[in-house]
Chain A
Amino acid sequence: MFRPVHISGFAQLPSDVEDLDEAEMVQRVVSGALGDAGLSRQDMGFWCSGSNDYVMGKPFSFTMAIDGIGPWPPQRESHVEMDGAFALFEAWVRLQHGDIDHACVYAFGRSSLTDVDDVHAMELDPYSLAPLGVGATDLAALQARAMLDSGRWTERDFAGVVSRATGADIDALLAAPYVANPLREHDRPTGADGAAAIVLSVGGDGPRIDGLEHRIDAHQPGMRSLIEARSARLAGEAAGIGPVEVAELHAPYAPQMLLLQQALGLADGVTVNRSGGSQTSEIPMVSGLVRIGEAAEAVRGGASRAVATATAGPCLQHNLVCVLAG
């Protein structure tokens, strides 16, 4: 029923790259992903990017970054003011039309320009939440407290997520002060700058997208259960997740990792976030796309089935689930 879409190329900027502007970052990851796919710009029938003008401090920042793809002759192009994973969803849909066989998805973002919490504060309900100045960490803390109140998780469980990602000692983590009780600084995402690109192709040898769905829950934090990632569960079911060997989960705040694992029904032996996830590097608007790329790398490396997620909105409001098969 659907044209089979495969991930044919993936590239991300190394974390220690020198100062590059948006176009320079995009140019490098796009040429890297195209090279990885063995394809050229001229092979792409559609381009789709994910980025956020408020993160970058410029209106229409994505139109300036588009120099990086060398858009001549004029290209079919689209953009989401969201994580590049959602741009990948749009590109997957576009490939279903049947007239083009390759699409390039890219994303860029920075944590270094401004406090990303302040930017996330602006995406909230403008009447009842944004005027309070509540931020992403504040909201994630309310979710973490609800998780503790339920009796199903402990602060030790939260620290365990960070320890598995960074190698830090759990007791040392638990001794750190709170920044928004019960969250500690290390429970917050480790902000970084960067970019990533993925080339999608109909057919071919790359990891096949076996399921791709996203669902969004109510925006108001008090109008849904904060102790389950219901939108992730529904997206996973719709995507036909099944048993997987590898999971790359986009959980900007450490406690959220536990909710995603529960929502997706991951078995104990699954390798989770071998890449380190948001606990080692969270690039706004990019890290969800990177989860998909890292899951693809795992399948290329021999895993038969992998799942990647990307999230948007406060407290895991909106989740995309991508299932890859070798």
Chain B
Amino acid sequence: MELVSPFTLAYAYKRSLGPVLSRFATALRDGQLLGARTASGRVLMPPLEYDPDSGEDIADLVPVGTEGTIQSWTWIAQPKARHPFDTPFAWALVKLDGADTAFLHAVRADEAEVATGARVRVVWGAERSGSIRDFHFEVSDQPAEPAAPVEDTEPVTRFKAPTRLDYTVRAGAVTADFLRGILKRELNGKRCPNCTKVYLPPRGSCPTCGVPTDEQVPLGQAGIVTTFSVIRFPFEGQMLEPPYACAHIVIDGADVPLLHLIGECDVDDVRIGMRVEAVWSDEPAPTLASIRYFKPTGEPDADPDSYESHV
């Protein structure tokens, strides 16, 4: 069985804009386009905080036109999810009247209208927040319609920049072996042929020797807590309600600890040397979370000499 899983990496970022770009963003929100004028008088669009030719600071933002000319274009017949429109549109490099550089934006038009040299005009969105997406272009030789006013008058100093990527993740050969064992409620390590250390979870390459760890080593379910931490504060994605302990557990026969949760134990009773065993979920899936947590076995604590190298 090939082990494949969808995975989404998403972050909710906010970015600060700084003194130059916040003025640009505030003007966008207010329905105006500003370019950056360099010391030599060149007007850059989009505005930069520095002159790309000299590296000098830019302090001067000046209004540029809301009409311009297409310098280059591409027609997108099948828009992607991240594109600004879900129906066919064009990207274009647009040189606005009053700007000396072209900037990239999206043009809503019929395919036949889009050409190098075509005149375009800004179409303002009704809802604007100070983002480059507050407007788009359409092909027209008429002046742009003015932007409808928006209520907010505070300067725009930050903007939301959410990030999202969707992946299809495959387990490597060694991880796949390990996870197939998990499905059977087994913990199988792998041994390095060179240093003979047993890794659990196994690694495709011994981190000490840099050689493949091929030999499978079946292990038991119990081991020793070699360090732990008590989590007392709430955060998104928690598996247990705080307070709870997570711990390094060296399973009998393994040479490296496994990181997992401790359950069925008062957090004040968790200690180094405590013997614990795995408690499995009813329906294991190919994930280490198939072990819900490790609970105390009730045995006497391990002899400190037996785990000395781990602390």
- Enumerate chain A interface residues (CB-CB to B < 8 A): 18-24, 26-27, 30-31, 41, 54, 57, 66-72, 112-115, 117-119, 121-122, 125-135, 138-139, 141-146, 149, 178-183, 218, 220-223, 226
Q: How far is the CA of A121 from the CA of B81 in the complex (A)?
A: 12
Taking the closest CB of chain A, its distance from the CB of B186, in whole angstroms, is 20
Question: Do B167 and A220 have beta carbons less than 8 Å apart?
Answer: no
Q: Quick one: which of A117, A130, A221 has the most chain B CB within 10 A? A: A221
Q: Which residue of A lies closest to B8 (CB)?
A: A57
**Shortest CB distance A305–B (Å):** 34
Contacts of A118 in B (CB 8 A): 80, 82, 165
Other-chain residue from B2, B15, B78, B84 in contact with A132 (beta carbon distance below 8 A):
B84
Contact partner of A133 among B72, B82, B166, CB < 8 A? Answer: B82
Give A69 Cβ to nearest chain B Cβ, in Å.
5
Q: With A127-B17, A221-B104 as given contacts, are A26 and B7 in contact (CB-CB < 8 Å)?
A: no
Expressed in whole angstroms, the Cα–Cα distance for A131 and B205 within the complex equals: 40
With contacts A113-B169, A222-B103 taken as known, whether A142 is within 8 angstroms of B44 at the C-beta atoms is no
Q: How far apart sit A149 and B72, CA to CA, in the bound complex (Å)?
A: 8
A132 and B204 in contact, given A19-B176, A141-B91, A182-B74 (Cβ under 8 angstroms): no
How long is the Cα–Cα vector from A125 to B203 in the complex, in angstroms?
A: 37
Q: Do A141 and B74 touch across chains, with their CB atoms under 8 A apart?
A: yes
Output the nearest chain A residue to B15 by Cβ-Cβ distance: A126
B7 contacts A138, C-beta separation under 8 Å: no
> Can you list 14 A-B pairs, Cβ within 8 angstroms, ordered by A?
A24-B173, A24-B212, A67-B207, A114-B166, A121-B82, A128-B132, A129-B104, A133-B83, A142-B72, A142-B91, A178-B75, A180-B74, A222-B45, A222-B71
| B74 close to A138 (CB less than 8 A) | yes
New A-B contacts (7) at CB < 8 Å, excluding given A128-B104, A145-B73: A23-B203, A23-B204, A24-B205, A132-B105, A178-B77, A179-B77, A226-B72
* CB neighbours of A223 from chain B (8 A): 44, 52, 101
For residue B231, CB closer than 8 A to chain A, the reply is no
Q: B210 contacts which chain A residues (CB < 8 A)? A: 27, 30-31, 41, 67-71
Tell whether B120 is near chain A: CB-to-CB under 8 Å.
no
Are B104 and A18 interface neighbours, CB within 8 A?
no
Tell me the smallest distance from the CB of A175 to a CB of chain B, in Å. Answer: 16
Contacts of A218 in B (CB 8 A): 52
Which 9 A-B pairs rank lowest in CB-CB distance, beginning with the nearest?
A70-B210, A21-B172, A133-B82, A222-B102, A24-B204, A141-B74, A27-B205, A128-B46, A72-B208
Query: Could you give, for residues 116-160 of chain B, a 1 whenever the CB lies within 8 Å of some chain A CB and a 0 otherwise?
Result: 100000000000000111000000000000000000000000010
In the complex the two chains form, is A57's CB within 8 Å of B205's CB?
no
Is the pair B104, A142 in contact by a Cβ cutoff of 8 Å?
A: yes
**B18 smallest CB distance to A (angstroms):** 10
- The docked-state distance in angstroms from the alpha carbon of A39 to that of B2 is 36
Name the A residues within 8 Å of B2 (CB-CB): 19
Provide the residues of chain A in CB contact with B76, threshold 8 Å. Answer: 138, 180
Proximity bits, B184-209, A CB within 8 Å = 1, else 0: 00000000000000000001111111
B166→A180 contact, CB < 8 A: no
- Residue of B whose beta carbon sits closest to that of A127: B21
Closest B residue to A145 using CB positions: B72
Q: How far is the CB of B16 from chain A (nearest CB, A)?
A: 11
0 or 1 for each of B36-75: is its CB under 8 Å from A? (1 = yes): 0000000011101000100000000000000000011111
Contact A27 B165, beta carbon cutoff 8 Å: no
Partner of A131, one of B24, B78, B91, B161: B161
Question: Is B9 positioned at the interface, with any CB of A under 8 Å from its CB?
Answer: yes
Cβ–Cβ contact A21 & B175, under 8 A: yes
Inter-subunit contact B82/A70 (CB<8 Å) = no
The chain A residue with its CB closest to the CB of B85 is A133
> Is B211 an interface position by the 8 A CB rule?
yes
Contact partners of B77 in chain A: CB under 8 A = 178-179, 181
Residues of B within 8 A of A71 (CB): 207, 210
> What is the bound-complex CA distance between A121 and B161, given in angstroms?
13
Identify the closest chain B residue to A114 (Cβ).
B167
Closest to A72 in B: B208
